[in-house]
C-alpha cells in the first residue's frame, strides 16, 4: 500500500517536491476507480450475470459462476490488433531512420507498444517513460496509468509541468519518483517517509514522460472506449441471466393431471403419483382423471433482445456486425467486407493520429538523451502498418498500379507490409544480384576481334574501299577480283 503524506490543501500550484507528490497522488487516487472498472470489463471480471430476483442469484450463483458472455474485449482487440508501428521517417532522409529503429528494438517496443495502445484504449490513458539506461543508451519503458500521473502546464495541452510514479513491487515495497523540468526527486525503495527522498538536477530540462491519451477533448479528460459500451454489456448480462433462469424452470413441457386423488405418506406428505420417463406411460383408473401439458417457454425472445443490444453495441463502437456473428455466422466477402469494416478502419486511423504524435515525442526524447540534433525534428513521422485487411491479390495489384505512377520501390515495399529490416535486406540483396550479373557478363563469350598482327586483315584504305563498294552477285566475281588487284 502506498503511504502518502498529508493531502495537498494549499492554494496555488505546488512548490516543494512533497507538495507535488501529495497533489499528484491525490489526483491519481481519484482516477483509479474508473480505471479499475474499465479493466475488469475488458478482462471479463466484472459482475457477470445480474439476475432479476435475489433468490435466483442465491440458487444459481454457483451454476453460472464461470459464465462469460463479454464483448468488451472483442471491441478493444478488434482495433488494437490493427495498430502496429513500422518505423519513423524524417522528411529529408530516405527510408526509415536507423537510429530511431535501434532505440525501438533495444527497448522491445515491437511487443510493448501494443500494450501501450491496449491500456490507452481500455483505461483512457497510458504513459511511456524515457530515461538513460545503465549503459548510457536511451531506455523506453511503458508505465500503466494505475501507477503514473502527470500535470500539464497552465494553458497547455502538450507541455508537462510534472509527473510522478507510485509503484508497489511484489514484496510490498513502494517506489516513488517525481519528475519536473528542473529536478528529479526519488524516494528510495521501501522508504515510507517521502521527505527523505533525494533531489538531483534534470539534465534534459523537460519531463521525460509521454502521455498516450485516448482521444481527449480540449476541456475534458481522456476517456475509455468502453465508457459507452459498459451499460449495454450489463444489459446483455441481465438478459442472458434471465434466459438461463428460464431454461432451468420452463424450457421443457410441463405435464399435469386433474381429477386424480392425491396420495399421502405416513407423515402426510404428498407422494409423486408417476415416474415420468421416455419408456413409460401415464395411466389412471379413475375415469374422471384427465392428462394435459403446458407448452415449453419460447427462449427466442431473449435471443432477439440480445441481438438487438449487440447491434447497438456494434453501431456505437463502430465494430463490424460480422465480428459478433449476428448474421447467423455468415460473414461478408469481397467488397462487402471492405465496406463493412470502413468504420472500424476510420476509427483505427484516428487513434493512430493521436498515438503517432506521442511516439514521435518518445523518439525525440531518445535523441535528446543522446545529445542529437534530431531531438528538435518536429517534422518526424510515425509510419504505421496498413490497418485495412485486403486479399493478397488485391493488395499486390494495387501496388503494381502505383508503380506505374513512378512511386519508389522502397515505398511500395513498405506499403506491401515489409518491415524496415526486410527492406534493408532487400537493398543489399539487390546490390548482390547486380554484382553477380556483372560477373556473369564478364565470364560469358566475347565477340571476336581482329588484331593488327593478323596478316589477312586489310589496311584502312582497302577496308574503306570494300565498305563503299555495293554488293554484287556471282556473275561479277571475276570483275571484282580484277578491280581489287588494281
pLDDT for position 80: 94
Name the residue with higher pLDDT: 225 or 404.
225
Percent of the chain with pLDDT over 70: 79
pLDDT at residue 359 above 70?
A: yes
480 — pLDDT class (breaks 50, 70, 90): low
**Mean pLDDT across the stretch 428-434?**
81
Residues 6+ apart with CB under 8 A from 395: 416, 417
Name the residue with higher pLDDT: 234 or 444.
234
**Mean pLDDT across the stretch 412-437?**
77
1 — pLDDT class (breaks 50, 70, 90): very low
Name the residue with higher pLDDT: 74 or 237.
74
Grid coordinates standing for 346?
Answer: 476510420
Grid coordinates standing for 231?
Answer: 451499460
263 — pLDDT class (breaks 50, 70, 90): confident
pLDDT at residue 51 above 80?
A: no
What is the rounded CA–CA span in Å between residue 77 and residue 114? 10
Report the relative pairing of strands 290-294 and 381-384 from DSSP bridges. unpaired
DSSP letter, residue 251? S
**Mean pLDDT across the stretch 420-443?**
78
CA angle at residue 105 from 100 to 108, to 5 degrees?
Answer: 130
Largest CA distance in the chain: 153
pLDDT at residue 180 above 80?
A: yes
Q: Which residue has the cell 525534428?
A: 377
pLDDT for position 202: 92
Q: What is the pTM (predicted TM-score) of this model?
A: 0.74
What is the rounded CA–CA span in Å between residue 184 and residue 3? 20
CA distances from 280 to 136, 263, 286, 323, 448 (A): 84, 20, 19, 47, 106
Lowest mean pLDDT among 46-60, 144-158, 168-182: 46-60
pLDDT of 281-309, one tens digit each?
Answer: 777 777 777 877 777 777 888 888 999 99
pLDDT at residue 322 above 50?
A: yes
Percent of the chain with pLDDT over 90: 32
**Mean pLDDT across the stretch 20-39?**
91
What is the rounded CA–CA span in Å between residue 164 and residue 129? 11
Using a 10 angstrom Cβ sphere, with 0-12 exposed, 13-18 middle and 19 or more buried, the burial of residue 419 is: middle
Name the residue with higher pLDDT: 337 or 309.
309
**3-state secondary structure (DSSP) of residue 288:** coil
**Mean pLDDT across the stretch 103-116?**
92
50 — pLDDT class (breaks 50, 70, 90): low
Amino acid at each position: 500500500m502506498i503511504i502518502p503524506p498529508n493531502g495537498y490543501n494549499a492554494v496555488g500550484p505546488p512548490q516543494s517536491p512533497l507538495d507535488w507528490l501529495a497533489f499528484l497522488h491525490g489526483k491519481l487516487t481519484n482516477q483509479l476507480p474508473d480505471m479499475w472498472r474499465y479493466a475488469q470489463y475488458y478482462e471479463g471480471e466484472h459482475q457477470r450475470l445480474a439476475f432479476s430476483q435475489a433468490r435466483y442469484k442465491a440458487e444459481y450463483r454457483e451454476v453460472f459462476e464461470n459464465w462469460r458472455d463479454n464483448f468488451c474485449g472483442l471491441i478493444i482487440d478488434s482495433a488494437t490488433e490493427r495498430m502496429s508501428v513500422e518505423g519513423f521517417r524524417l522528411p529529408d532522409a530516405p527510408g526509415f531512420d536507423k537510429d530511431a529503429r535501434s532505440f525501438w528494438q533495444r527497448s522491445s517496443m515491437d511487443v510493448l507498444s501494443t500494450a501501450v495502445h491496449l491500456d490507452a484504449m481500455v483505461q483512457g490513458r497510458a504513459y511511456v517513460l524515457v530515461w538513460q539506461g545503465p549503459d548510457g543508451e536511451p531506455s523506453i519503458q511503458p508505465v500503466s496509468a494505475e501507477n503514473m500521473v502527470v500535470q500539464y502546464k497552465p494553458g497547455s495541452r502538450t507541455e508537462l509541468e510534472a509527473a510522478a510514479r507510485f509503484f508497489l513491487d511484489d514484496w510490498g515495497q513502494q517506489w516513488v519518483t517525481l519528475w519536473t523540468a528542473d529536478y528529479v526527486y526519488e524516494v528510495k525503495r521501501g522508504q515510507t517517509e517521502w521527505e527523505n527522498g533525494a533531489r538531483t538536477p534534470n539534465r534534459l530540462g523537460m519531463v521525460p514522460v509521454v502521455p498516450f491519451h485516448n482521444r481527449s477533448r480540449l476541456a475534458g479528460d481522456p476517456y475509455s472506449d468502453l465508457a459507452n459500451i459498459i451499460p449495454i454489456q450489463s444489459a446483455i448480462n441481465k438478459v442472458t441471466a434471465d434466459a438461463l433462469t428460464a431454461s432451468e424452470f420452463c424450457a421443457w413441457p410441463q405435464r399435469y393431471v386433474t381429477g386424480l386423488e392425491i396420495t399421502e405418506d405416513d407423515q402426510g406428505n404428498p407422494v409423486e403419483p408417476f415416474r415420468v420417463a421416455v419408456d413409460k406411460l401415464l395411466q389412471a383408473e379413475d375415469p374422471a382423471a384427465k392428462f394435459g401439458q403446458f407448452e415449453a417457454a419460447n427462449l427466442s425472445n431473449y435471443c432477439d433482445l440480445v441481438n438487438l443490444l449487440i447491434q447497438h453495441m456494434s453501431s456505437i463502437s463502430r465494430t463490424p456486425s460480422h465480428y459478433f456473428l449476428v448474421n447467423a455466422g455468415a460473414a461478408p466477402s469481397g467488397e462487402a467486407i471492405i465496406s463493412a469494416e470502413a468504420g472500424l478502419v476510420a476509427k483505427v486511423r484516428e487513434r493512430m493520429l493521436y498515438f503517432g504524435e506521442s511516439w514521435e515525442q518518445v523518439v525525440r526524447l531518445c535523441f535528446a538523451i543522446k545529445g542529437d540534433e534530431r531531438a528538435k525534428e518536429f517534422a518526424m513521422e510515425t509510419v504505421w502498418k496498413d490497418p485495412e485487411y485486403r486479399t493478397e491479390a488485391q493488395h499486390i495489384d494495387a501496388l503494381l498500379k502505383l508503380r506505374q505512377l513512378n512511386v519508389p520501390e522502397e515505398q511500395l515495399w513498405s506499403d506491401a507490409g515489409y518491415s524496415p529490416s526486410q527492406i534493408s535486406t532487400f537493398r543489399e540483396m539487390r546490390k548482390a544480384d547486380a554484382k553477380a550479373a556483372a560477373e556473369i557478363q564478364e565470364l560469358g563469350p566475347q565477340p571476336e576481334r581482329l588484331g593488327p598482327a593478323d596478316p589477312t586483315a586489310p589496311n584502312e584504305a582497302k577496308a574503306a574501299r570494300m565498305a563503299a563498294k555495293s554488293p554484287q552477285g556471282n556473275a561479277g566475281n571475276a570483275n571484282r577480283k580484277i578491280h581489287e588487284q588494281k
